[in-house]
Amino acid sequence: MISQILGIARNTLVESLRQPIFFVMVVLSGLLQWLNTASAAYSMGYTTSAEVSGDDKLLLDIGMGTIFLFGTLLAAFQATAVISREIVDKTVLTVVAKPVARPTIVIGKYIGVVVAILMAVVVMITFLLFGIRHEVMSTAADSFDMPVVVFLSGAVGLSFAIAVFGNFFYGWSFPQVALTVMVPLVPAAYVATLFFAKDWEVQPITTDFKPAVLVACLSLAMAIMVLTAIAAAVSTRLGQVMTIVVCAGVFVIGLLSNHLLGRVAFQNEFIAVIESAEPREARFREFNGAQASYDIRFNTFPESPLDPGTSVWYGPSPTGIAMAVPDFEPFEGDPSDRRVIGDEDTSPAIIVAESSGRDAVFQQAGGTAVSVERPPREGDYVFLSPTATNPIAIAAWSVVPNMHYFWLLDAVTQNRVVPSEHLVRIAVYSALQIGVFLSLAVILFQRRDVG
């Protein structure tokens, strides 16, 4: 079975790379990335601490959007070309008659298509990295980054030259050879560019390298793999036009899922955002001990009064998702009475012990502490009630591919570190989504008439 899957994947990969539309989209993406350096100015970005700042923030936004769009189109076109079209032309019948199990065909086709698309994505991401290195040309007086121009045009020109030579003398497929050569050559040209400053002065390779941008692009590649699985499932039953329509619909709904489903799945309203949080005593650092307390400062005045004794919850999301504090019974009693605060009969709660303007003190009340996941920290949202959940909306929200999980642009432009745990979660989420849609593809293809 493995040898059959690899054989089908290899043939699918070659067939995909030979498609002229495949090569045209990659080249068009590169041209758009280059034009973005002249058209993405005036983004009104003034931050200077992030890897991408100023006008280049819009350049990154448009560039990543270009990759996302072209990746979605490639997934729809290629999945249709290697599955739907073969079913219509009945060429898949020769494979089924071998006999080869239908799940083997679906898995092999998907692997071949996704490898081809990832090859294209590698080139498109490198084009974006070249654009970020070149930076926006805000005025006519701005000069070109000549190392970018020389190395990029050299790599693309050499790829074209090899493809023309192979096609003329050996009859090789021009799109296949050109893209295959560009996959290692264009990234190598980018690495070579990093060794030189704009004026050709030699510099350390880390000077212009953007690891956060690369992480965001890798996350985007995972999203395209999920969309490819969706396209593979749809193309087992529908033609090219409808496959593109469905993929575009899933793409848009995935971007709007937080608004359409997320806000219904979890309902809560925050009253303030924590600017700083410090324990009053070192032994209270974990905020898990009885009567532990934290000094809190908000970035603005709370939208609702925080009187002493008010129960509070906090978490990283403005909607109350993934709350760092579990549900507990609201505190009832006199917060100034120390006996009530530490009484064994008092239900565990987190309360406001003191409050004045933008400053407050959060304290554990009760004989035992509320078992929090972590102490309050900068950026946390504060709530006056636990988050209400809607199981039906949560189920729907979980099924629809949420493209916001893969969109790490804001983290890059706001100079926020993306934790490695988040990347692991994205990878697991992608694997689960791909598994679900490939299973659906197998089910749909299992009883499809190919005779």
If DSSP states are collapsed to H, E and C, what string results for 205-220?
Answer: CCCCCCHHHHHHHHHH
pLDDT at residue 46 in the model: 52
pLDDT at 45: 53
Residue carrying structure tokens 């590698």: 122
Q: Domain check: are 325 and 354 in the same one? A: yes
Mean pLDDT is lowest, of 37-51, 219-233, 392-406, for: 37-51
Considering only residues 357 and 343, tell me which one the structure prediction assigns the higher pLDDT: 357
Angle (CA) 407-412-415 rounded to 5° is 140
Say whether both 250 and 317 belong to one domain: no
The answer to whether residue 44 scores a pLDDT higher than 60 is no
Same domain, 378 and 403: no
Q: Confirm whether 392 is domain-assigned.
A: no
Give counts: helices (H), strands (E), the chain: 15, 8
State the pairing for strand pair 270-279/381-383: antiparallel
| 185-207: b (≥16 Cβ within 10 Å) or e | bbbebbeebbebebeeeeeeeee
The pair of structure tokens assigned to 440 is: 């659906």
Query: pLDDT at residue 47 above 70?
Result: no
Please list the alpha-helical segments (H only) found in 80-101.
Answer: 85-89, 92-96
Residues 241 and 312 both lie in one domain: no
Q: 297 lies in a domain?
A: yes
Quote the mean pLDDT of the chain. Answer: 85
Q: Which residue has the higher pLDDT, 188 or 133?
A: 188
- Cβ partners under 8 Å of residue 166, min gap 6: 172, 174, 177
In a domain, 87, yes or no: yes
Highest mean pLDDT among 85-99, 317-331, 410-424: 317-331
Count other C-beta atoms under 10 Å from residue 157's C-beta: 10
Whether 199 shows a pLDDT value over 90: the answer reads: no
Distance CA 57, CA 219 (A): 18
Residue 112 has a CB neighbour count (10 Å cut-off) of 25
Return the minimum-mean-pLDDT range out of 78-87, 200-209, 238-247.
78-87
The 8-class DSSP code of residue 289 comes to S
User: Which pairs count as long-range contacts for 13-17, CB under 8 Å and 24+ apart, including other chains?
Assistant: 13/112, 13/113, 13/115, 13/116, 14/176, 15/81, 15/82, 15/112, 16/78, 16/81, 16/82, 16/112, 16/113, 16/116, 16/117, 17/116, 17/119, 17/173, 17/175, 17/176, 17/179, 17/180
Same domain, 118 and 248: yes
Residue that finishes a domain, picked among 359, 387, 415: 387
pLDDT at 27 over 70: yes
**Model confidence at 339: pLDDT above 60:** yes
> Do 274 and 224 belong to one domain?
no
Mean local confidence (pLDDT), 21-38: 86
Residue 273 confidence class, pLDDT cut points 50, 70, 90: very high
Q: What is the DSSP letter of 331?
A: P
The 8-class DSSP code of residue 136 comes to -
Type and span of the H or E element at 313? strand 313-315
Query: Which contiguous run of DSSP H or E holds residue 176?
Result: helix 174-193
Q: What is the pLDDT of residues 118-152, one digit of tens each?
A: 999 999 999 999 988 888 877 666 778 899 999 99
Under 8 Å CB-to-CB from 265, ≥6 apart: which residues?
389, 390, 393, 394, 396, 397
Q: Clarify whether residues 96 and 242 are in a common domain.
A: yes
**Distance between CA atoms of residues 351 and 330, nearest Å:** 9
pTM listed for this prediction = 0.78
CA 156 vs. chain centroid, Å, equals: 28
Number of domains present in the structure of the chain? 2
Dihedrals φ, ψ of 196, to 5°? -130, 140
Is the pLDDT score of 49 beyond 60? no
CA 271 – CA 353 distance, rounded (Å): 17
For residue 333, is pLDDT > 80?
A: no
Q: Which of 301, 235, 230, 228 is nearest to 80 (CA)?
A: 235
Percent over 90 (pLDDT), the chain: 27
- Please report the pLDDT score of residue 431 as a whole number: 93
Confidence of residue 271 (pLDDT cuts 50, 70, 90): very high
* Closest among 157, 235, 151, 156 to 195, alpha carbons compared: 151
Say yes or no: 133 and 214 in one domain.
yes
> How does 274-307 read in b/e, with b if 16+ C-beta sit within 10 Å?
beebebeeeebeebeebebbbebebeeebeeebe
Q: How far apart are CA 399 and CA 103, in angstroms?
A: 22
Other beta carbons within 10 angstroms of residue 353's beta carbon come to: 21
Give domain status of residue 393, yes or no: no
- On whether both 336 and 438 belong to a single domain, the answer is no
Q: Mind listing the pLDDT tens digit for each residue in 56-112?
A: 788 888 888 889 888 888 888 887 777 777 766 666 666 666 677 778 888 888 999
The 3-state DSSP class for residue 59 equals helix
In-domain check, residue 108? yes
- Domain final residue, candidates 360, 387, 414: 387
Buried b vs exposed e over 387-406: b needs ≥16 C-beta within 10 Å?
beeeeebbeebeeebbbebb
Domain, as residue range, for 127: 2-264+398-446
Residue 275 and residue 226 share a domain: no
My answer on whether 244 and 277 are in the same domain is: no
Task: Count the residues in the chain.
Answer: 451
For the stretch 281-308, pLDDT in tens is: 888 888 888 788 899 999 999 988 888 8
Q: What is the amino acid identity at position 394? A: I
Q: Is residue 162 part of a domain?
A: yes
Q: Are residues 251 and 327 in the same domain?
A: no
